[in-house]
Amino acid sequence: MAMNYEGLSKENVLRLLKEYLKEDFTYSSGRILGSMCTSPHSFAKRIFIKTIDKNLGDAGLFPGTMRLEQEAIAMIGSLLSKPDASGYIVSGGTEANLMAMWVARNLAKKDRPEVIVPESAHFSFDKAANLLGIKLVKIGLDENFQVKTKAVKEAINRNTVAIVGIAGSTELGIVDPISELSEIALNNGIYLHVDASFGGFVLPFLRDLGYNVPEFDFSLKGVCSITIDSHKMGLAPIPAGGILFRDKEYIKSVSIKVPYLSGGEMTQGTILGTRSGASAVAVWALLKHMGREGYQRVVKRCMNLTNMIVERVKKSKKLYLITNPIMNIVGLSSNSLKPKRLADGLRRRGWAVSSTQTHIRLVIMPHIKRKHIIEFLSDLEELS
């Protein structure tokens, strides 16, 4: 489509826009049941719009915004047992994982760098490996869908620059045995990155609520960096991911001095140059506004709804759980229908779920209400 010479009126543009956007699913319909994103908190949306012109790529012009980013990182750090962690609010889990792999590769300075990841790792590690010239060594999972730590140990060689553990896997919300990985990493002097992209804003609150949550964060001495995304269970507007490092020295391995900026000389440790200050400010505002207690309530609601699904599936003769959910991610399958067929059937009834080779995945995000679950379960039973 060619660009028009004369501009259209705002009304005309809005009318056209409405046509396109009505094709989209909406969170408020409750029909998005397989996404890790959700409708952002209304307060965060307001703050985001208010600060949309802030550019952390020239932080010297926006020292207040920079301070807010640092405070946001400190608050997230305190959730992860390290209030003095360093890091950035980035565009999402993909960028955060890429940054961690970049840092680990540069710190280790190996000719043929290798990174050991669980088979359950998100595809962002494949992208990172490809971009950074790293060989990914994928390790199988045990019967609990956790990485086999013995195999991790055996896969270490002189080219290994990092080990990755997942705290909330994409397909099932599984947490790897991070404390064992931490021991292995310490014993071999290898960098350990934890991908808590989804679980980071769930696990600390589950622990507060009395769930038995294994250690997965900086309390384990081997953990060097953590991915934790505000645009998932943190309720922030997209884009808002987080990358936190144990030691700010690590960031120097990827930093570049930029002398000419109008805000004055600065050192950039991020992949992006110009980057959203609004994301960082919205994350800061939400953390302040929600408090630990606010997030606990959100997680509790999501878990209650998750349990409604679990109870129903356990009673069903046709459906079964892949594993007992640890967080608000459910993997389930049917005895009679392949996951893809089941997902397609649900789609025809207006439900958007994800499907893998072995199961359909439901993510019970904060936009899901009890009435949606009731409707969904009835459609699911009919179909399976």
Provide the binding-site residues for ligand 0PR, judged by CB under 6 A: 35-37, 92-94, 97, 122, 124, 166, 170, 195, 197-198, 229, 241
Closer residue to ligand 0PR (CB): 104 or 266: 104
83 backbone dihedrals φ, ψ, rounded to 5°? -65, -20
Q: How far apart are CA 33 and CA 42, in angstroms?
A: 21
Cα three-residue angle 97-102-105, rounded to 5 degrees:
125
Q: Cβ of residue 73: shortest distance to ligand 0PR, in angstroms?
A: 17
Q: Which is nearer to ligand 0PR, 185 or 365 (CB)?
A: 365
3-state class (DSSP) for residue 369: coil
Q: Are 324 and 293 in contact (CB under 8 A)?
A: no
Which residue has 């039973």 as its token pair? 381
Q: What are phi and psi of 305, to 5 degrees?
A: -70, -35
Nearer to ligand 0PR, 202 or 287 (CB): 202
Residue 229 Cβ vs ligand 0PR, minimum distance, rounded to whole Å: 5
Q: Output the smallest distance, CB 116 to ligand 0PR, in A.
A: 16
User: Measured between alpha carbons, how far is 196 from 199 in angstroms, rounded to an integer?
Assistant: 5
Query: Which residues touch 288 (CB under 8 Å, ≥6 apart)?
Result: 75
- Report the nearest approach of ligand 0PR to the CB of residue 99 (Å): 12
Please name which of 268, 188, 230 lies closest in space to residue 79, comparing C-alpha atoms: 230
CB closer to ligand 0PR out of 95 and 114: 95
Structure tokens at 255: 């930093």
Beta carbon nearer to ligand 0PR, 164 or 266: 164
Nearest-approach distance from CB 60 to ligand 0PR, in angstroms: 28
Shortest Cβ contact with ligand 0PR: which residue?
93
Work out how close the CB of 130 gets to ligand 0PR at its nearest, in angstroms, rounded to a whole number: 15
Is the CB of 166 or the CB of 266 nearer to ligand 0PR?
166
Expressed in angstroms, the distance from the first to the final Cα of the chain is 44
